[in-house]
Amino acid sequence: MQKNNSYLPKISQSAIYKLWAASEYEENGTSIHATRMSYFSRLIGLAYGMTDEEANLLLLASSMHDVGKIGIPDSVLLKPMELDNNEWTAMKAHTTIGAEIIGNHNSVAFRMAKIIALTHHERWDGTGYPNGLRGEKIPFFGRIVAISDVFDALTTVRPYKKAWSEEEAVEAIKMGSGSQFDPSLVPLFLDVVPVIKNMKKNFNNA
């Protein structure tokens, strides 16, 4: 975790790192998905033109995107096959649970984190969840995290699937441009893919 964020009050930093750690307990504590995808989100943010401070806030906020999964039963979260309708409804609730856990806070990072937790599974075409938001009605930070979240999830082993190759995952992001993902952000993701691949390799070797 990146801990050099002197512009945040110490109490906010401490709370963020605790929620970040809680997010890493997804899949029996073996996953560092939240860490990887938050760094990928930071890269996309920088490619968009964010300042270092803005991108670092995005990194911290996006690290809490899946904190709501601590409220999902292991029988659903770790099921090694396709979820049925009731299980899928339960899984989708991690977005609203996460927003509730983060709650209302004066901290910019926490406000951003709540938005991301709630909206990172919304889709550009309006078919996402939990609220079926469409296009630019989806908050900008949620649109960035949607891309980095999917890329890392696709390239990671999960109980219900094998890891895709990085090339397959990149093609999936391309195919989702304008339907699942903001078409203005996909080219920025593609620009930083070489850096993301190298970063991912470093995480895997850590």
pLDDT of residue 25: 59
Bond preceding residue 73 cis, omega within 30 of 0:
no
Chain centroid to Cα 102, Å, comes to 15
Summarised one tens digit per residue, pLDDT across range 2-59 is 444 544 555 455 566 666 566 665 554 446 888 899 999 999 999 999 999 999 999 9
Q: Is 48 exposed, middle or buried (0-12, 13-18, 19+ CB in 10 A)?
A: middle
Summarised one tens digit per residue, pLDDT across range 171-182 is 999 999 999 999
pLDDT of residue 200: 87
60 inside domain: yes
Q: Which pLDDT band holds residue 1 (cuts at 50, 70, 90)?
A: very low
Angle between helices 33-48 and 186-205 (to 10 degrees): 140
Task: Extract the tokens encoding 114.
Answer: 């709540």
6 inside domain: no
How far apart are alpha carbons 93 and 96 in whole angstroms? 5
Q: How many domains does the chain have?
A: 1
Sign, Cα dihedral of 161, 163, 165, 166? positive
User: CB-based contacts of 188: which residues, under 8 Å, 6+ apart?
Assistant: 44, 47, 48
1 inside domain: no
pLDDT of residue 31: 61
How far apart are alpha carbons 16 and 83 in whole angstroms? 31
146 inside domain: yes
Q: Does 68 have pLDDT greater than 90?
A: yes
Percent of the chain with pLDDT over 90: 68
Distance of CA 129 to CAs 24, 48, 120, 173, Å? 22, 25, 9, 18
120 inside domain: yes
4 inside domain: no
- State the residue for tokens 């984190």: 113
pTM of the model: 0.88
In this prediction, residues 186-205 reach a mean pLDDT of 91
pLDDT of residue 109: 87
Residue 16's CATH number: 1.10.3210.10
pLDDT of residue 19: 64
5 inside domain: no
Q: Which pLDDT band holds residue 201 (cuts at 50, 70, 90)?
A: confident
pLDDT of residue 105: 82
List residues with catalytic annotation.
69
How far apart are alpha carbons 110 and 116 in whole angstroms? 10
2 inside domain: no
**186: domain range?**
11-205
Task: Extract the tokens encoding 60.
Answer: 């911290």
Are 198 and 120 contacting, i.e. CB atoms less than 8 angstroms apart?
Answer: no
Q: How many helices (H) and strands (E) does the chain have?
A: 10, 0
Summarised one tens digit per residue, pLDDT across range 144-195 is 999 999 999 999 988 888 999 999 999 999 999 999 999 999 999 999 999 9
